[in-house]
Amino acid sequence: MSNEIWGGFTSVLFDVALALIPLLLFFCIFQLFFLKLKTRKVIDTLVGFALTYLGLSLFLQGVNIGFLPVGEMMGEQMGQLEQTWLLVPIGFVLGFFAAYAEPAVTVLIHQVDKVSGGYIPKQLLLYTISIGVGLSIALSMVKVLVGFSIWYYVLPGYLLVFILTRGSSKLFTAIAFDSGGIVTGPMIATFMLAMFVGIASVTEGRDPLIDGFGMIALVALAPILSVLILGKLFQQTGGR
């Protein structure tokens, strides 16, 4: 059992080290020539690097042995439901909580709260992003069930983004596009993607290679729209 859990962990440790070493080198260079932080602060930073290395390694190992296979198995079971329309509300709930638990989203809302001085409430922004992701997953479920092209979502969606961007505040425009980038993180890109591949693999007339993918593009689009709409509401109400 333990061999199954820790199988391939050495390669995961190596991959994470390759990703973090350049960042560590940049920090060391800046510390020597520019930052010149106190010893205590340097030690805290190095401990942070060590914890990040350990955390990322354990997380990726968990993804390999847990998220990916379980997501695909759940998708296969969900795809065999007689009432296939249930996949749409189920998709919304899963998408909402996947975004709600996304670590990068938590970082974003804290940064926005800090920079804006509390002008944009953290919980409001978190719910806005999560609802956007939930709706995108629900629409992706419709796409898999019906079998039409992702272009029917993406093309009009980005046209609407450009329309909403005109007249939108620079703050909300920047937050919106950052939100679109960060939600496609480890929660969505591992568990949800595997689930969609599983659903497409057992749905009659669907190809997992075609219908199982494309969800990430829609997930990246949805928070941009939801945050831009929130910005428009803030402009109309004066942030009240």
Is residue 74 domain-resident? no
Same domain membership, residue 218 and residue 161 = yes
Q: Total domain count for the chain?
A: 2
pLDDT range class, residue 4, cuts 50, 70, 90: confident
Same domain membership, residue 48 and residue 6 = yes
pLDDT range class, residue 79, cuts 50, 70, 90: confident
Decide which of 30, 47, 69 is a domain's last residue: 69
- At residue 231, what is the residue type? G
pLDDT range class, residue 209, cuts 50, 70, 90: confident
Same domain membership, residue 153 and residue 122 = yes
d(CA 125, CA 179): 10
Check: pTM over 0.85? Answer yes or no: no
Same domain membership, residue 190 and residue 131 = yes
Same domain membership, residue 204 and residue 182 = yes
Same domain membership, residue 119 and residue 95 = yes
Same domain membership, residue 220 and residue 144 = yes
Same domain membership, residue 48 and residue 129 = no
Nearest-10 Cα torsion for 46, 50, 53, 55: -120
Q: What is the DSSP letter of 146?
A: H
Same domain membership, residue 216 and residue 169 = yes
Same domain membership, residue 218 and residue 177 = yes
Same domain membership, residue 114 and residue 29 = no
pLDDT tens digits, residue range 126-158?
999 999 999 999 999 999 988 888 889 999 999
The pLDDT, as a whole number, for residue 2 is: 56
Neighbours of 232 (CB within 10 A): 15
Q: What is the span of the domain harbouring residue 143?
A: 79-237
Same domain membership, residue 111 and residue 62 = no
d(CA 138, CA 54): 34
Decide which of 69, 88, 117 is a domain's last residue: 69
- Hey, what long-range contacts does 153-158 have (CB within 8 A, 24 or more apart)? 153/218, 153/221, 154/217, 154/218, 154/221, 157/218, 157/221, 157/222, 157/225, 158/221
Is residue 105 domain-resident? yes
3-state secondary structure 51-108: HHHHHHHHHHHHHHHHHHHHHHHHHHHHCCCCCHHHHHHHHHHHHHHHHHCCHHHHHH
Decide which of 13, 42, 69 is a domain's last residue: 69
